[in-house]
Chain A
Amino acid sequence: MSDASAPWDPSKPILEISNLSISFFTRLREIPAVMDFSCAVMQGESMGLVGESGCGKSTVALAVMRDLGKNGRIVGGTIKFKGRDLTHMTEEELRVIRGSEIAMIYQEPMASLNPAMKIGAQLAEVPMIHQNMPKAEAWALARQIVADVRLPDPDRIINAYPHQLSGGQQQRIVIAMALMAKPALLILDEPTTALDVTVEAGIVDLVKELGRKYGTSMLFISHNLGLILDTCDRLCVMYSGEAVETGNVIEVFDKMRHPYTQALFRSIPLPGADKNSHPLVSIPGNFPLPHERPPGCNFGPRCDYFQAGRCDAADIAMSTVPEDDRHGSRCLKWTEIDWNAPITKRASKPKTPIGKVVLKMEDLRKYYAVSSGAFGGGAKKVVKANETLSFEAREGETLAIVGESGCGKSTFAKVLMGLETATSGTIMLFDENVKSTPIQQRNTDTVSSVQMVFQNPFDTLNPSMTVGRQIIRALEIFKYGASDAEREARMLELMDLVKLPRAFAERMPRQLSGGQKQRVGIARAFAGGAKVVVADEPVSALDVSVQAAVTDLLMDIQRENKTTLLFISHDLSIVRYLADRVMVMYLGHVVEMGTTDQVFQPPYHPYTEALLSAVPIADTKVIRKRIVLEGDIPSAMNPPPGCPFQTRCRWKSQVPGGLCDREMPPMVTLAGGHQIKCHLSADVLNSMEPVIKIAAE
């Protein structure tokens, strides 16, 4: 380690944050972002920081780097790194520490790399600046670290520019850069959120292994509890600027001692949850705004165990849970609550009957022509976004479409909505072929009966129009009602339907939270009495506690209106929870289709198997088989010959005669209508083991 002068005892914590408070100063007021936060990270330990957006977890990380911007200031407490207080260091002292002893990895890999510098030069810069290493030696080290982060062909990579690498490769380079100076502490701020699940699994494995190899301590920030369980030794749950529970990962997961942690676990879909018999329990109310926090316990207003006069009396300090390993809870009543009591609020709901076929697609194809030449000339390339897509969806049914980015699920949605026209094949919507009818030529009935809920809550509403006005506009377009008053009344009914206060109709979208915006989006989609709703990852951008509420809302509306829901998602946990049937897509092909049980049980398509294994599950009782796919998803511009999945398939050797390299596998129908597009023989398929096992209690 470069800093030999500082006397530091390795048995003491490498990072010790005590009573840290951070505020941001805006022109109106001081906004406290983090209050009274304490935690300690030992040598070689990895600490997880979990919480919903706005809870202050990233602020803590930035405070450790002393990079709070010009509005942010540390207003109290200390951050001790190797026994030295970072809060009182000058800029020069910090510069020595940053990058060499504390390194940080951000969410967006492309934003962390300089697009104008070669990878090797960016990596070599670190030891050249911090250790005055000669250039040749630094490049050699860079090459070695690139090999360490398991990138293929390191010699080519160090001479490449960032844009020549895929997202997963870029993130590996960012990790490599962080490791160049062999830092003692690595801060990872949502390092895999921008990546696909199968790529994420690879990165998580890498981080864990490197942590062991170099003995680096880690501060791992994530909103994903499953990921924290996979990567960390200890965790700290944050809520509204405070740490509410901290302790050993296993202990917190199995014996949580704070009502918020408990509510959080009840609101995420774990194996065993089901939309009808075991619905999720969402946390009531909203996340308090930083300047509107309640007195006493911040979680009080949303807590089932709230006791007026006691919980809201004064600020609550962290109290330790005896017997456990440094386990603490910021709750006054944790000794009084019966933590093993069954959930009382959970009410099972009737199953929606599945009706007649509403939507039927047959052999649908969508190709895009892309010209490669700079001046419109050159060879025309064809991107096959959708290939031979056939399925049907029935009234009241939820069909999940699962796949990673680039699999063609969004193109499929566009074709169905009429924003694009199909290249060939038929789309039968209520016995009417809409395949090649663009949306302008569809009649109002067809348009209003197929609607969409969008992914990004911050993008789904027009920021400069009131919420009510946007819903009324949809009603006007769908020719609902005879007068403005009638439409106004219907708009208010729709607000009730999505459980928003009627007063919100007058608000601008920026005054709403993400979950509330998503509710408005749903109200707008159902304005014309939609029969088929395409939900494009409607909850993936929302916080966990809000996800459950919005999912339930969608399910309730579906039950009431017998809507057919096409639920596009990459999150298999939520798909298992709410889908009746699942369709798995890879590079424009449907590789597997069947009921939810069929798809989540063996036999699997090899891709489904890998996908299932890649999704982290926040349950200590679940044992997952680790299958990490090599490499990245091939480009749709240049798909591999034969089976699209053959480049990453681990079962390829089981197929005789190199059939996978040559021929597109046929869709094989197994028992119960379960379809798999694979060359594997029935014997091999039947010999597959389940990826997820729930250990006996």
Chain B
Amino acid sequence: METLSWFGSYGSTLTTPVSALIAMMVMVALTNGLLSFASGNGQTALLRTGFLSMAFLFISFFILVFLFLKGGAGVNYESVLTTLLRIAAVLVAFGLFAALTSWILRQSLNDAPRLLARMMRLLWRALAAIAVLWLAATLIFNTEAERGILASVVLRFLPVWIALVVTFALSIRYKRKLGLYGKLFDSTVGMLGFALVMFWVFTAVFADIIITHDPISPIGRVKNPLPGTPLVDPAPGQYLYFLLGGDHLARDVFSRMVMGARRVLQIAPAATLFAFMVGITLGLPAGYFGGKFDTALSFIANLVLAFPVILLFYLLVTPEIRDTGIPIYLAAVLFLFPIIFLCVLLNSRYFTNPPRRNLYVGITLLIGLWAYSGLAFNLDPTGFWSMEPNLLNVFVSVVFVNAPTVFRIVRGIVMDLKARDYVAAGQTRGESPWYIMLWEILPNARGPLIVDFCLRIGYTTILLGTLGFFGLGVSPESPDWGSTIDDGRKLLSIFPHPALAPALALMSLVLGLNLLADGLREESLRD
């Protein structure tokens, strides 16, 4: 069998129109940039900015050449120089053309920027149309060989696409009834972020159907097969190709990336949630009561924040420290907070009605302590709640590092909100401080907290990646993205694909979370 091509049968015919489109987009973007530089200052200024930016390009180019010539000892100067010169020539050509067009446009048209923006939109649409047409045409093929790698990957994610379409259709249909979540669908940025995040969430959910091979065991004996390489002697029923190639142990990169999503999305949101529980439970009283209590807690929080995070991780995860039991003690303390939080939350609300309060608090305590015994001490008799020691370490470290930041955010919001009249109204009717904190203040602090929650899942994901990269993550053969990038790092210059796939996955998830947070923030501020 032959190696798969990236774009399938129609790939070669597409190259010309797509590259032409992209070149045009670059032109338009350059022209637009120059125009906006010189907006409102007349043509002379426009030309001046045009030439200035040309000069800037030249100078930076020569500095680059100089650095190359000085730095690289074994570098072939001639080839480097010719490459650079070629790039420079293209840049200069583009720049001059753009300056000229913008000058002409400026002279002949009043609203050149609007025209350019329209052109840009048109080009984008053309590109998107080509992509969609290509995909539709290619997906009809029956064999991977005709479809190519990209279309095959898209097809593997079929359950995710269906789930995404259903989610979006329902959400947009009922967006006016869904509060802040519904408002998200008014902002393009928010929708994009939400789509990226949900893509990976659904991937984690459907990972078992999506993967092509077992993510942990080696397949065949060829090391580092390139993307699209066929299996040497496939067993019956086995998928015939390494879609995104294989790593140095001949494990399937695509399957590892998909399974990695499950690992990452299991730990990151849960760890963030725990960090929030700890931060809120401590931040509320610190901001509300102030005084010495606040001073002491803030000092401790600053202490944790001042410590270099990576060093802290190294310390917490090294076997010597682990043997002292410190992570277990930390877990014992940190995991207690969610239980305290929920009990206080329910008690302050329902203490006027003791039977109901006893019921709610009792259920919380029962489930909470059951989970607590399993998660912190691994003592759950039924075995339902348990966490392997490696995972526990990582989990505790992430919570420990994130909680102080949440603490400070909550404390700041509470200090602002506690001066409100509805808080005073609660005080004058004799409410307990915890009721006021948890039911009067906390719900009104939700906006910034939700935004920070999204951002923080992103940070946690990166943190987990970093941990995995340093080999501090979960078990060695775990497919989580950080460890996979670390594995692929050693052969990066020869075989980039084992590291590239999880890196792109990580990037897109964090980007999605950031866009989602941006969208939420923007929408929560509007009317």
Contact = CB atoms under 8 A, between A and B. Distances in A.
A524 interface: yes
B188 interface: no
A454 B424 contact: yes
A455 B352 CA distance: 29
B425 A460 contact: yes
Contacts, number: 62
Interface in A451-483: 451-452, 454-456, 459-465, 474, 476-479
Interface string B66-77: 000000000000
Contacts of A465: 439, 443
Contacts of A419: 424, 427-428
A447 B40 contact: no
B444 A463 contact: yes
B429 A460 contact: no
Contacts of B439: 465
B422 A459 contact: yes
B121 interface: no
Contact of B352 (A439, A476, A521): A476
Interface in B469-527: 526-527
B186 A27 contact: yes
Contact of B429 (A27, A455, A459, A474): A474
A442 interface: yes
A462 B430 contact: no
B429 A478 contact: yes
20 contacts: A417-B427, A419-B427, A439-B430, A444-B430, A447-B429, A448-B429, A451-B429, A452-B425, A454-B425, A460-B421, A462-B422, A462-B440, A462-B444, A463-B422, A464-B446, A465-B439, A465-B443, A477-B429, A477-B431, A524-B425
B352 A477 contact: yes
Contacts of A478: 429
B172 to A, nearest CB: 14
Interface residues of B, number: 22
A442 B430 contact: yes
B527 to A, nearest CB: 6
Nearest to B432: A440
Interface of B: 40, 186, 352-353, 420-422, 424-425, 427-432, 439-440, 443-444, 446, 526-527
A477 B426 CA distance: 10
B494 to A, nearest CB: 52
A455 B524 CA distance: 26
Contacts of A462: 422, 440, 443-444
Given A464-B443, A465-B443, A439 B428 contact: yes
A482 to B, nearest CB: 10
Nearest to A416: B428
Contact of B421 (A440, A448, A456): A456
A419 B426 CA distance: 11
- Chain A interface, DSSP helix/strand/loop, else mixed: loop
Contacts of A477: 352, 429-431
A440 B430 contact: yes
B262 to A, nearest CB: 35
Contacts of A447: 428-430
Given A26-B527, A418-B428, A442-B430, 18 more contacts: A417-B428, A419-B424, A419-B427, A439-B428, A447-B428, A447-B430, A452-B424, A452-B428, A456-B421, A459-B420, A459-B421, A460-B421, A462-B444, A463-B422, A464-B444, A474-B429, A476-B352, A477-B352
Contacts of A455: 421
A528 B444 CA distance: 26
Contacts of A92: 40
B431 to A, nearest CB: 6
Contacts of B526: 27
Contacts of A463: 422, 444
A359 to B, nearest CB: 15
Contacts of A464: 443-444, 446
B421 A451 contact: no
Contacts of B424: 419, 452, 454
B428 A479 contact: no
A521 B428 CA distance: 13
Contacts of B431: 477
Interface string A412-442: 0000011100000000000000000001101
A451 B428 contact: yes
A292 to B, nearest CB: 16
Contacts of A26: 527
B424 to A, nearest CB: 7
Given A27-B186, A476-B352, A477-B352, A460 B430 contact: no
Contacts of A521: 425
A374 to B, nearest CB: 14
Nearest to B186: A27
